[in-house]
Amino acid sequence: MSELFNGITIQGIFGLAIGILVLASTPGPGILAATSCALASGFRSSLLVIAGIVIGDIIFLLIAIFGLTLVTQFIDNAFIIIRVLGGLYLAWLGWKLWTSAPINLENDDEASNKTYLKNFTAGLTITLSNPKVIVFYGAFLPVFVNPNDLKVNSIFLIATLITVILSLVIGFYAYLASRARLFFKSEKAMTNINRIAGTVMFGVALLVILIG
């Protein structure tokens, strides 16, 4: 097999890409949260959720690559606390969405600026409270690459692959949700949209706490 970078072959990178694509395409808390924010605040607002999800994945990727056993054990022991706190935070965001005033579509940028940090934190929380993500990288990564041989360029390539695939897949769902939002321009309709988005976020919170 032809080696592309240290510790990774062309065949390996394609196999890894397919695995990440399947993981990203499976409906879960990340997709639900991104579409919820897109419904409530528009597509650009959901990009911060996606950014948080991507950063969380890359953190777990680095833990898997460098084999930080102590860190992994700590995370494993702390996951229950992390999940509960993360779920409560997401439930609070759901309540904020449910009770928030409708956002003026013509003033979307100003409204979105107020929620960027909350949305980024929501995305990061969803990933860091999900043990399945680190299990995926810890078990799946060695099938296609040799973690012991990876260098900076190889790690950068894998991180870029994760960023591109997750952003495109989750962004696609969020974009569709944001387009649907444009059909509901009355204040009453937007209030209902906010409540739907809040309900979805409540569902994400329950998924994080109960399923992980």
pLDDT category of residue 163 using cuts at 50, 70 and 90: very high
Tokens linked to 88: 């409560």
Task: Determine the average pLDDT of the residues in 189-208.
Answer: 70
* pLDDT tens digits, 5-34: 666 778 888 888 888 888 888 778 888 889
Q: Please check the confidence at residue 48 and state whether its pLDDT lies above 90.
A: yes
Distance CA 174, CA 61 (A): 24
SS3 label, residue 18: helix
DSSP 91-139: HHHHHHHHHSPPPPGGGHHHHHHTTHHHHHHHHHHHHHT-HHHHHHHHH
pLDDT at position 203 is: 76
Q: Tell me the average pLDDT of the chain.
A: 77
Quote the strand ranges of the chain, DSSP E.
Answer: 3-5, 8-9
**What is the reported pTM?**
0.76
Instruction: Give domain limits for the chain.
Output: 3-210
pLDDT category of residue 69 using cuts at 50, 70 and 90: very low
